[in-house]
Amino acid sequence: MEKQKLKTLLTTILILTISIATLTSIAFAQQINYNPDMGTVTKTAPSYMTSDNSAYAAAEEYGNLMNEDYAWFDPHANSPQRTGYNPGPAPDRPDVLWRSQNNPIPKVILGMQTIGSAQGVINPTLVSFSGAPMAMDGQLIAYGSIRPNSGNSTTRNAVISLNPHTGAVNWASIVGYGAASAAGVGASFGVASYIFKVDDTHFGTLAGGMFGGGGGFCMFRTTGEFLWIDTSITPGAVYHACIVAPAPVYMIFGPRGVGAYTNNLGGWDLSDPEIDKGNGGRWAWNYTIDEPGSNPLLAYGDGKVFMGSYSSVSVYAIDAETGDKVWETYVKSAMGYMTCYADGKLYVGCQSMLIYALDGETGEVVWKNDDGAANRAFNVWNINYAYGRIYVHDLGFGATGAQKCLDADTGEALWASQALFWIGYYRTVVADGKIYGRQSDQSTTTGREAIPTNFACWDAYTGEVLWDINEEIAGPVIAYGCLYYIEGAGYGDTGNQLVALSTAVGEPDDWAMFRGNAETPGFTMDKGPTDISTGPKWVFATGGGITSSAVVSDGRVYFNSGDGNTYCVDAYTGMHIWDHATKEPTMTHFGSSPAIADGKIYIGPDDGFFYILDADTGSEIKSIPMGTYRAVQVGAGQHNIKPSPIIAGGRVYIASIHNGLLYCLDMNG
């Protein structure tokens, strides 16, 4: 009896021991130590990386980006008022939308005729660009060179039209040759081609040299045909040769002649642009300048042309219709380069340490800012106006050069951000609450340490540098939601390819399943990053390894992780939005890729279940069993490849490694 009790006790102890060991073994087998940073962003995205700064947000705020309100009619500063402001969107990040590179040209024009193989035009392509473009009539119009016959090395200069959002060439109109031998395009010292809007269906070019003059004014249709040239229209001033006031004004203004003495300011009539009135037939009036000298043309506004003077140290206002002087105001310094006219005031101060606001009607001084006198803040090139503020950059003395912002009503300095130049022939432009322009040019003026060449984007309200790129850009232009520039173009006007930056154009295509789509797997027209040397913009940590390819849709990224979860994160910041756990706790390899369509995420069946989730919330809509889970055995050197769902024709196709079956699911079922 005692033996039986002892046997029973030992058996019970053995069973308990085995049970405890088994439970302990199971417990240990299920203990998985995940990444402690699981579900967090371990590298934070820059402040400009946000879904608010995207094509989706821009479309909602600005509507149709091809609205002509968002064009850029004057390559210098968008309008004869020369504010340098565009009311449309502008890039929040230096995302490259497109870059020209040997683009094919579907249509080549010479004079009034389209030419083809009979004239030696065979597979024509772009070569390069020179000078900042302008934008009108849904086109980007620029000056450059083309290769009419791709079979040889002959090039021709041309006015070139491109699609603003794709960079595709619309047409190229040859100048300086044949029927258009007299036509040409000059450029200012500020790297801007002399191309101006005349009216909705015409644009003009000034065929002068660096300082204008000499070549005459050329008229084109916006479809590329060259109409006429008037060689008597020869405005020429140091740096900026002319101002074109488009329809309904239809005038071009400019000092006549360049050299020691510029004696006259001329006005020419550009109305009836289809009619060639012959040389001299468009002359309207002439104003004889009181103090002959180098007299720059500053701006146009409210029926007046404004000029500065280096010799008489004054500012003039000339009636744009009659050529009579309206007023003259003496200032304490020479006034040159460009200025701007806005809200009835003329803002001047370039080539000076002083900045003035003058009443546009009377010439009276509204305010004067002399803050720059203390550090020899020689203001350069242009003054912008936007948001009740003016923006100007100065050379300063030593290391004090700055991009500055002043209150337009009072002249009070609001902020200054360091910007260092040698001379500073670099234009700034404003849009969407931001300023774009050169920040440094690697100069060592007054012995300062050289700062690498940089192009920057500043917050227009605070002066904070939002982003910068190491590019030599002198003539930026903003139009149709993009910022355009000629890469490698310094103030000496040595251009190369045309580049478009944008965060507003083109909602990106979805990458909706493994390899993107079923029709052209692995291919997209969207642009990838141009520089990955600085590493990722953000990093999101999960609990396990990730062998799943991500899918992207509507500003979100979806992917599977070895911690058994499907994650949804913000595509711009990496911030966690939701996660969904699978049913199999022992699964550590979640290798399939999700697929997305019609607001639903399709996942699996890595753990034996196929999941359908709500893409917005991650909530489970349905789970379909596809075989009992089993860990997949792989040989040495092999990969544990999992099938991923493919969507086509309203159906989802998926194979299960757990039961060896291929499934076809109706998306509406």
Contact between residue 292 and residue 263 where contact means Cβ atoms under 8 Å apart: yes
In this model, does residue 229 exceed pLDDT 60? yes
Measured distance CA(472)–CA(91) in Å, rounded: 18
In this model, does residue 537 exceed pLDDT 60? yes
Q: Over the stretch 334-351, which tens digit does the pLDDT of each residue have?
A: 787 888 999 999 999 888
Q: What is the pLDDT of residue 63?
A: 86
Contact between residue 188 and residue 254 where contact means Cβ atoms under 8 Å apart: no
Integer-rounded Cα radius of gyration of the chain: 33
Q: What is the pLDDT of residue 15?
A: 40
Mean per-residue pLDDT of the chain: 84
Contact between residue 529 and residue 77 where contact means Cβ atoms under 8 Å apart: no
Give the other-Cβ count within 10 Å of 342's Cβ.
Answer: 23
Q: What is the mean pLDDT of residues 359-365?
A: 97
Strands 429-431, 85-86: pairing is parallel
Measured distance CA(270)–CA(249) in Å, rounded: 9
Contact between residue 561 and residue 546 where contact means Cβ atoms under 8 Å apart: yes
Q: What is the mean pLDDT of residues 190-198?
A: 84
Q: What is the mean pLDDT of residues 423-433?
A: 87
Which band of pLDDT confidence, cut at 50, 70 and 90, is reported for residue 641? low
Q: Over the stretch 121-132, which tens digit does the pLDDT of each residue have?
A: 999 999 999 888
Higher pLDDT, 11 or 104: 104
Q: What is the mean pLDDT of residues 226-244?
A: 84
Tally of residues, the chain: 669
Q: Over the stretch 546-567, which tens digit does the pLDDT of each residue have?
A: 888 899 988 899 999 989 899 9
Higher pLDDT, 377 or 48: 377
When mean pLDDT is compared across 10-14, 184-188, 199-203, 282-286, the lowest value belongs to 10-14
Q: What is the pLDDT of residue 302?
A: 95
Higher pLDDT, 523 or 395: 395
Q: What is the pLDDT of residue 453?
A: 82
Q: What is the mean pLDDT of residues 458-463?
A: 95
Q: Over the stretch 575-622, which tens digit does the pLDDT of each residue have?
A: 999 999 998 887 878 888 999 999 999 998 888 899 999 999 999 999
Q: What is the mean pLDDT of residues 517-537?
A: 71
Name the pTM for this structure.
0.77
Domains parsed from the chain with CATH numbers = 55-501 (2.130.10.10), 508-669 (2.130.10.10)
Q: Over the stretch 61-108, which tens digit does the pLDDT of each residue have?
A: 888 899 999 999 988 888 999 999 999 999 988 888 888 988 999 999
